[in-house]
Amino acid sequence: MNQPAHFDPFLADVFEVKNDLCKGLKLPMELIDSIVDFAEYWPHTTTVRRGEKIVTTGRGHEEDFVLRSYPLGYLPTKSDETDCSMLDKTSFPTIDPLPWSTTKPVAEGSANEEVKGKWLEESHMKSDHPCRKIVFTIKSHDQGWGGDRQHRGTYQGSYTWFDVGKEELIAFKEGQEPSSLPSKPSHKIDLSSDDSASDAQAITSVFHTISPRTESNQTSSDDTNIQYHFHHEFIPNQDCLQKNLTATKNVQTHQVVWSCDDDTDPDSVFGQALEDRGRGRATATGEFVRNMKIGDVVTVWAKARFAEWANTIEEVKIDVYWAV
């Protein structure tokens, strides 16, 4: 018997179902919300990057930014790129992030709350922490040889992998941005409505990288030529999103689901089971999803370590689901 096709609802679909349950069956809203959550009938946004990208060790290219989601709460428009090429380096989902000073810019013209309020209204999110699920789909492989013989075809001894990062919204009214505000990644934000477009003030928004964390070469308070860089783990740790199979040339498709209901102890046998599948032991605690706030962005980074190890990426996709 054929299985029914999977259906991902749009925002309007979710409201239609909730309206039918409310008006048609006269169910209380608390029960309706429970039914919708149990069915995982949530709207979502998708970004994807396809093509071929090879990450290799050496010359500072052993960790490479691959893809970001749109901010939680923002509904991409027709002009927003969501399906990108590996060659694309200018669309919002593909722009390389810059490491900022560890101190975020503060100014009177901050528009964070205004922007988040607008997105909350448009996306109908239930709370400040509405994220319910994040799905990562990765098609990739390593160089197809190397490593210890007993590790080949397993996730042990794999030194090509993927990690997850997070960015947060920093928004200012145009003309009131602090001079220290970095230029990218940035995104145009329109807060106007149809009847007030002429009165709307333009918003400049950039996104501050929370993870990976930022470090500097500063050794004393007298240093002036301070340079900043992202800190990346040298080998896969318990937060690793997904490893490639060791010494396996064929493309592997991994779909990793992070849920707000996850509650796996990294030190348990279930944590060991995650590690056996090429995931970090601490990636099923649910904390990342539960801590997502309106305006937060999910990022994926590709890694490779040691001479001649190569992480070949054909596709990375991020689906972010939220409750309404």
Residues 149 and 228 in one domain: yes
Same domain, 23 and 171: no
15 and 60 share one domain: no
Judge whether 130 and 72 are in contact, CB under 8 Å. Answer: yes
CA distances from 56 to 60, 63, 313 (A): 9, 8, 11
CA-to-CA distance for 198 and 60, rounded, in angstroms?
47
In a domain, 124, yes or no: yes
Radius of gyration of the chain (CA): 21
Summarize pLDDT for 122-176 with one digit per residue, the tens.
999 887 789 999 999 999 999 999 999 999 999 999 999 999 999 999 888 877 7
Domains identified in the chain, total number: 2
In this structure, the answer to whether residues 158 and 14 fall within a common structural domain is no
170 and 54 co-located in one domain: yes
Over the stretch 80-126, which tens digit does the pLDDT of each residue have?
999 999 999 999 999 999 888 766 666 567 888 889 998 988 999 88
Q: Clarify whether residues 35 and 68 are in a common domain.
A: no
- What is the residue range of 37's domain? 8-41
Residues 16, 65 share a domain: no
CB 44, CB 322: distance < 8 Å:
yes
What angle separates helix 29-38 from helix 11-19, to the nearest 10 degrees? 130
Residue 31 sits in the same domain as residue 59:
no
Q: Quick check: is 125 in a domain?
A: yes
Whether the full predicted model's pTM is greater than 0.75, yes or no, is: yes
Q: What is the DSSP letter of 156?
A: T
Distance CA 195, CA 284 (A): 45
Task: Examine residue 248 and state whether it is found in any structural domain, yes or no.
Answer: yes
Looking at the structure, do residues 133 and 31 belong to the same domain, yes or no?
Answer: no
Residue 107, token pair as written in the block: 């100014």
Ramachandran sector of residue 278 (left: φ over 0; alpha: ψ -120 to 50; beta: rest): left
Q: Is 183 found in the same domain as 82?
A: yes
Can you give the pLDDT at residue 4? 63
Residue 55 tokens read as 């990450």
Q: Please report whether residue 1 resides in a domain.
A: no
